[in-house]
């Protein structure tokens, strides 16, 4: 008797722990989140609030990642298409960026990779794939760094500080990348940006005159529903007073770290 009770207690504790494995999927918890290969999951649809929590788990720590810029843009403008803004697309963008796995792997192991692995039969996993052409944060950082080494006076070079020892600029990297390549699309580093924009025409990244709607009190984005904003740039260059965009002096030590990334970009471009 007693051992049965103990076993039950352990089982229910285990169930509680499993149900909360990393993320709280609350009432929306489903066997499909742990066993997405089960045939019954072919009709499963995700709870978007739970997916947003998965996104927030990454973006509250690494708000500078491109997928976090996507999340912020999407939450600020409900009129943007779900094909680009569904939270599963945002999560896929974060979790499939190969060079960012050091930052995302732990969260993604209990979220995207668990529900949308190779054997998953959940239809949205096939539909809502990563935002096409949006590179990893490492690549975007390297691209911005490369452009700003060439042309430190460009306005977009004041958006981001130099990359730190982890190889990332802690800023809205996509904003810097977008500003620079919208400004001078013919630069040798910009074909990937131009291709992404040709393909997606995503206003927040691709249209210099795009403005998010003013929060009417109806739009999400004003009242704590938005993810931590990556759009608080910490310019170290000061715009245009010659103090050196991206603080190039301090970033000389980053050259080694980013050589690989920049070389990768060059080979993509050539």
Ligand X SMILES: *[C@@H]1O[C@H](CO)[C@@H](O)[C@H](O)[C@H]1NC(C)=O
Min CB(78)–ligand X separation in Å: 6
The residue range among 56-64, 145-153, 178-186, 213-221 that interacts with ligand X, by the rule CB under 6 A, is 213-221
Kindly indicate which of the ranges 51-59, 64-72, 149-157, 215-223 contains the residues binding ligand X, using the contact rule CB under 6 A.
215-223
Which member of 21, 28, 34, 38 binds ligand X (CB under 6 A)?
A: 38
Stretch that binds ligand X, among 2-10, 30-38, 65-73, 202-210 (CB under 6 A): 30-38
Q: Hey, what's the torsion of the CAs at 215, 206, 178, 170, to 10 degrees?
A: 40
Among 99, 172, 173, 179, the residue binding ligand X under the rule CB under 6 A is 99
Question: What does the alpha-carbon distance between residue 128 and residue 41 come to, in Å, rounded to a whole number?
Answer: 16
Q: Which of 48, 127, 253, 255 binds ligand X (CB under 6 A)?
A: 127
Choose which of 216, 256, 267, 270 interacts with ligand X (CB under 6 A): 216
Q: What is the largest CA-CA distance in the chain?
A: 79
The span from the CA of 46 to the CA of 88, in Å, is 8
Helix (H) or strand (E) segment spanning residue 258: helix 255-269
Tell me if 119 contacts ligand X by CB under 6 A: no
Cα–Cα distances (Å) from 158 to 162, 185, 234, in that order, read 10, 18, 8
Candidates 16, 218, 232, 267: give the one binding ligand X (CB under 6 A): 218
CA dist 12 and 80 (Å) reads 42
CA 265, distance to chain mean position in Å, is: 19
Indicate the DSSP class of residue 243.
S
In whole angstroms, the minimum distance from the beta carbon of 35 to ligand X comes to 6
- Kindly determine how many residues on this chain lie close enough to bind ligand X according to the rule CB under 6 A: 18
| Cα-to-chain-centroid distance, residue 107 | 13
Residue closer to ligand X, measured from CB, 194 or 228: 228
238 binds ligand X (CB under 6 A): yes
Cα atoms found within 13 Å of the Cα of residue 226, Cβ hemisphere only = 21
Q: How many CB atoms lie within 10 A of CB 127?
A: 12
Interface with ligand X includes 51 (CB under 6 A)? no
Residue labelled with tokens 């990893």: 136
Min dist CB 122 to ligand X, Å, is 10
Instruction: Check residue 60 for interaction with ligand X (CB under 6 A).
Output: no
Q: Which is nearer to ligand X, 148 or 182 (CB)?
A: 148
- CA gap 70, 64 in Å, rounded: 10
Asked whether position 102 contacts ligand X by CB under 6 A, the answer is yes
User: Which two structure tokens, joined as six digits, stand for 29?
Assistant: 């918890």
Residues forming the site for ligand X (CB under 6 A): 31, 35, 38, 40, 99, 102, 124, 127-128, 213, 216-219, 223, 238, 241, 243
């Amino acid at each position: 008797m007693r051992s049965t009770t103990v076993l039950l207690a352990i089982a229910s504790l285990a169930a509680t722990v499993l149900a909360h494995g990393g993320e709280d999927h609350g009432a929306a918890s489903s066997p499909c989140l742990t066993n997405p290969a089960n045939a019954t999951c072919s009709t499963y649809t995700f709870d978007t609030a739970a997916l947003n929590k998965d996104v927030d788990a990454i973006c509250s720590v690494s708000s500078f990642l491109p997928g976090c810029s996507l999340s912020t843009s999407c939450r600020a403008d409900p009129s943007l298409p779900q094909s680009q803004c569904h939270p599963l697309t945002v999560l896929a963008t974060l979790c499939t960026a190969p060079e960012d796995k050091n930052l995302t792997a732990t969260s993604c192991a209990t979220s995207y990779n668990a529900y949308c692995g190779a054997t998953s039969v959940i239809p949205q996993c096939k539909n809502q794939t990563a935002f096409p052409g949006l590179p990893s944060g490492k690549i975007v950082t390297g691209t911005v760094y490369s452009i700003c080494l060439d042309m430190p006076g460009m306005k977009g070079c004041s958006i981001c500080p130099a990359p730190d020892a982890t190889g990332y600029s802690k800023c809205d990297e996509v904003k810097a990348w977008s500003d620079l390549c919208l400004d001078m699309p013919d630069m040798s580093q910009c074909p990937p940006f131009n291709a992404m924009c040709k393909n997606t025409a995503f206003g927040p990244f691709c249209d210099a005159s795009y403005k998010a709607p003013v929060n009417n009190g109806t739009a999400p984005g004003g009242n704590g529903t938005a993810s931590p904003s990556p759009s608080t740039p910490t310019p170290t260059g000061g715009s245009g007073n010659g103090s050196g965009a991206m603080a190039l002096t301090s970033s000389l030590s980053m050259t080694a770290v980013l050589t690989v990334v920049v070389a990768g970009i060059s080979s993509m471009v050539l």
